Amino acid sequence: MLPTMTGVGRLTADPELRFTQSQKAVASVSLAFNSRRLNKQTNQWEDGDVFYIRGTAWERLAENVAETLAKGMEVIVTGEIRTECWEKDGVKHERPALLIRSIAPNLAYAVAQVSKDAASQQNGQHGGQHTARPQQGQAQRSRPSSPPQDDPWAVDQANGYSNEPPF
């Protein structure tokens, strides 16, 4: 079993979105995790050790990452740590890598407007639609006129459903 990591890090570059030959989306995300300490003598924050890792997200998560996140954003990320191995010019190389399972902006330093992605709007079916990434800071999300029929959080004022959670 591979180790799972959950941490708060910062994107060191914009996510890179690519598609495999079978049209599966894959996003590469460069992350830095560092420790900061308050020096009580100087009353200044000091950076400690830094851990850099390249993360990979697949399919819908990859497309959402590329559309939502940008260089410099602080994120909360969870995934499995793996070792990437490759050979170049007869030399074997290894480095740690993170298979991202979830990633989101840290709301301690940002605000976010959450909406379901286009594939979720289609009742969870995977659509083959790939959209171009908007410019940084210009997240363009379509707003549905009504929630999906199977959305248990939806509020139907006409039929008297309440705003209470469905549990």
| pLDDT at residue 150 in the model | 52
State both tokens at 27. Answer: 């996003």
The yes/no answer on whether domain 4-114 falls in CATH 2.40.50.140 is yes
Confidence bin at 46 (pLDDT 50/70/90): confident
Read off the pLDDT band of 77 (50, 70, 90): very high
Asked if pLDDT for residue 14 goes beyond 90, the answer is yes
The more confidently predicted of residues 100 and 132 is 100
With cut-offs at 50, 70 and 90, classify the pLDDT of residue 87.
very high
Range of weakest confidence among 30-39, 108-117, 134-143, 156-165: 134-143
Instruction: Give whole-number Cα distances, 143 to 25, 39, 129, 155, in Å.
Output: 23, 47, 17, 16
Residue 151 has pLDDT above 90, yes or no: no
Least confident of 19-23, 115-119, 138-142: 138-142
Query: What sign does the dihedral 86-63-11-114 (CA atoms) show?
Result: negative
Q: What pLDDT does residue 122 have? A: 63
Residue 27 burial (CB < 10 Å; 0-12/13-18/19+)?
A: buried
SS3 helix, strand, coil % of the chain, rounded to 5? 10, 45, 50
**In this predicted structure, what is the pLDDT of residue 91?**
94
Per-residue model confidence (pLDDT) at position 45: 85
Please state the domain extents for the chain: 4-114
- Across the range 29-52, mean pLDDT stands at 89
Q: Has residue 140 got a pLDDT over 50?
A: no
